[in-house]
């Protein structure tokens, strides 16, 4: 029977919905596989992994994370500037940003089939103006495939 609004038969609509559900299930499975692979990616600032044999260089990978520094964090940091001491709220944001950038770097490496990233570098930038500030963390390195050393 054809739907008067869409002009599509009910059977075709059901088949299309089933196909879309299968696509979603496949994508979710692939994402799960990617996340599992990303968890095993090794990151190092060294140019080589001394305990592993280099199989191939895949290429450069990178990630970027931007974090807003809200007014509470800005006020907290301002008070610490005046009275001294560590600005824990800002330190927590820096740690979260670093961890997010490294986590994303592992995912990028897994996407290109690498199981390690060597020569990892981190860069940090802060932009502010108009009463708002943003913290940017970039992580990058060379994605490689390595095997256990002999």
Task: State pLDDT tens for residues 79-123.
Answer: 555 456 666 777 888 888 899 999 999 999 999 999 999 999 999
Task: State pLDDT tens for residues 12-27.
Answer: 778 887 888 887 777 6
* 25 and 83 belong to one structural domain: no
**Considering its fold, how many domains does the chain have in total?**
2
* 57 and 127 belong to one structural domain: yes
What band does 31 get if pLDDT is binned at 50, 70 and 90? low
Q: Is the pLDDT of residue 71 over 60?
A: no
> What torsion, rounded to 10 degrees, do the Cα atoms 97, 100, 106, 109 define?
-70
Angle at 28 between CA 26 and CA 29, to 5 degrees: 65
* 54 and 86 belong to one structural domain: yes
Angle at 66 between CA 60 and CA 71, to 5 degrees: 160
Lowest average pLDDT, out of 55-69, 75-89, 125-139, goes to 75-89
* 22 and 50 belong to one structural domain: no
Could you tell me if 140 and 66 are in contact, meaning their C-beta atoms sit under 8 angstroms apart? no
Q: Is the pLDDT of residue 72 over 70?
A: no
User: Which domain does 19 fall in, by range?
Assistant: 1-40
Q: Is the pLDDT of residue 137 over 90?
A: yes
C-alpha pair distances (Å), 9 with each of 19, 20, 51, 85: 15, 17, 61, 69
| Predicted pLDDT at 68 | 80
Nearest to 38 by CA among 97, 118, 108: 108
Angle at 65 between CA 64 and CA 70, to 5 degrees: 150
> What torsion, rounded to 10 degrees, do the Cα atoms 11, 14, 18, 24 define?
140
* 82 and 136 belong to one structural domain: yes
Mean pLDDT, residues 121-134 taken together: 83
């Amino acid at each position: 029977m054809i739907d008067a609004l869409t002009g599509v038969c009910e059977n075709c609509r059901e088949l299309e919905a089933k196909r879309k559900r299968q696509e979603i299930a496949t994508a979710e499975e692939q994402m799960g596989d990617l996340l599992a692979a990303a968890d095993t990616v090794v990151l190092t600032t060294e140019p080589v992994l001394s305990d592993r044999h280099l199989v191939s260089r895949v290429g450069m990978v990178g990630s970027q994370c931007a974090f807003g520094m809200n007014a509470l964090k800005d006020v907290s940091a301002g008070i610490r500037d005046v009275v001294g001491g560590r600005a824990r709220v800002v330190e927590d944001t820096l740690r979260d940003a670093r961890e997010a950038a490294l986590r994303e770097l592992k995912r990028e490496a897994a996407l290109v089939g690498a199981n390690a990233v060597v020569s990892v570098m981190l860069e940090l930038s802060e932009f502010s103006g108009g009463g708002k500030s943003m913290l940017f963390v970039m992580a990058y390195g060379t994605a490689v495939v390595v095997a256990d050393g002999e």
